[in-house]
Amino acid sequence: MRRFFPKKKKPDGLNFGKIGRKINVLTIRQQLICLLEKGEMNARELSRELKIREKEVYDHLYHIQRTLKTRAKTLHIDPFYCLVCGYIFEDRKRLTRPGRCPKCRQGHIEVAAYRIV
Ligand SMILES: [Zn+2]
C-alpha cells in the first residue's frame, strides 16, 4: 500500500537566505537609479553616498545608461566644465572625468552631475 505524503508547501517570501548579508552590484545600481530619480547628483556625491570609488560610479552609470533605454528613461548629464576658463565638455561621449581642459590645458575640472528623467 502506497502512502501519500503531501508536499510541504513553502510559503512565499520566507526564503530570504543570503539577501541582506552583502550588497551586490545590482543593489548599488538600484540605489543609484533611485537617487538620481529623486534629484541631481554628481559623481563625487554619489561615490560618498554609496561608499564606492568615483571610478566605479562612472562604471555603474555606463550600465545604467544602457538599461534606461529600454525603460524609456534617460540619464541626463550636466556636463563637466573647466573651473579655470569655463570650458564646457558638452560633446563628451565618455562618462569619466576628463584629465585636463582642451582650451586652457588646466586640470581643474568640475565633475558632471546626473539625473534620471
Ligand atoms: Zn579651461
Tell me the pLDDT tens digit for each residue of 19-61: 555 555 658 999 999 999 999 999 999 999 999 999 999 999 9
Distance CA 54, CA 96 (A): 9
Distance 89 CA to ligand 1 centre (A): 10
CA atoms within 13 A on the CB side of 59: 9
Whose cell is 553616498? That residue is 49
**Which domains are assigned to the chain?**
25-116 (1.10.10)
pLDDT above 70: residue 111: yes
43-50 vs 54-69: helix crossing angle, rounded to 10: 100
Distance 48 CA to ligand 1 centre (A): 26
Q: What is the pTM of this model?
A: 0.73
Distance 72 CA to ligand 1 centre (A): 35
Distances (CA, A) of 56 to 49, 77, 83: 13, 17, 24
Distance 85 CA to ligand 1 centre (A): 4
